[in-house]
Structure 1
């Protein structure tokens, strides 16, 4: 899930910035600075909410397409000629999806990577994707793989992407709102002829800064939802398989720590200690909660 959140956030920042620039450059669009030269906070808040939620929903609609392109996910066609490994992955995803009560089966894909990882994404339960890495299939045993897939299917069943989008919309609203207030204040300290240019540059600068700070809220929510997905995975695949999957990921993580100097923090296997920039809690905490 970590990569899904990372790409969603990066896409959101770029989309939000693009929309903001377009709205800023169009003359007379949502004029939130009154004729007296003062900010109209009510108008600015409405303006910010429209941009914020538009950006987050555009990012959501692009999430599945972005994941496929960036990760190089090869979609498995259930009715095509499949290898034994591909058949097993599709069978697990579809069986667990039916157990979760999903009316539409997620797309299933595999991407080539040594990392042990999997993610679920998509704008809705009807248009979702579950992708696993070749590293996961090669490193983990059958029960661990099923536990990991159950965890990702639980994210879809829980509607985590839509909930994340609504949260991101709220965060975006405050990002746009505060960025324009800060830009307005900065522009008051320069010459009048330079104020519009400085105001425009400051909007971009502060929006990027506040977007990064706002992502901490999204990361915190992501960590919270991981515990729910673990419980959902335990309900779907069985508590023993979910626990075995987490313990297998921990063993893999420990082995990688011995072979490498560092392990990326935005992967399904998480980190030894949870940080503010982690999308997942530590595996020790997740195993403890599941028990």
Structure 2
């Protein structure tokens, strides 16, 4: 019986799951609608019971109906109150957890920059910094199942007659385990559009890959549904871009955009450090941290950078 029931409801569960993915709805959102409807239905049943009750049978019948009505009403009230209390506690717990996670991730991002400041800035130091920043980005960015990927803008080797650029992944993406695209090539509409966006120093936020104002290519097996691309560069040069994508449609609010831009700024600080060991990037570092501090409460120790402290500067 159990297996037959599971097989019967499986198509309904699939349809419901697809609808929830498409609309960004979760179980709590459904409960917000279903619970009041159930409570209202139970209250309606109470009224119907009173109307159809055989009051002419005497006092015992009336008491029995009143008992049923009271029981049904009590259950409806208990359901609504219990669910509301659970949602309230869950919301507060989630909020505390989100603040704590944000604070820890912001501290981790600051530590990654500070560690690069104090390092010899070798290729291994660069890789450690990028890995740490991408990992912290997946926690800082408030989107579903975030994956963070960094790409460098490379110029294709040719005879100089064609101005060809492409984007190449740097290291490995962090977050979801599905593999990120290795390159964006100019010979595809999607690749050409992304490369043009990055070279022009633009940031783009795509809430739904099916509703975008530039060509987007996505494999059927791909998990991402929405993404943002934020250019990363040093003064006078676009170095590459930070990609942050989610497995659900995403409304990129001003806060989410601010977080994405600030993460990219942290990466830029690292790129500037690697490009010029003598550069004092403390002002840029402080400004990037302020931007993130303004999005969510966080306490981060001030990492300082003094060029004279580094041997050879």
TM-score (norm 1): 0.28
User: Which one has more relative contact order, counting CA pairs under 8 Å at least 6 apart?
Assistant: 1
Q: Report which of the two has the higher share of strand.
A: 2
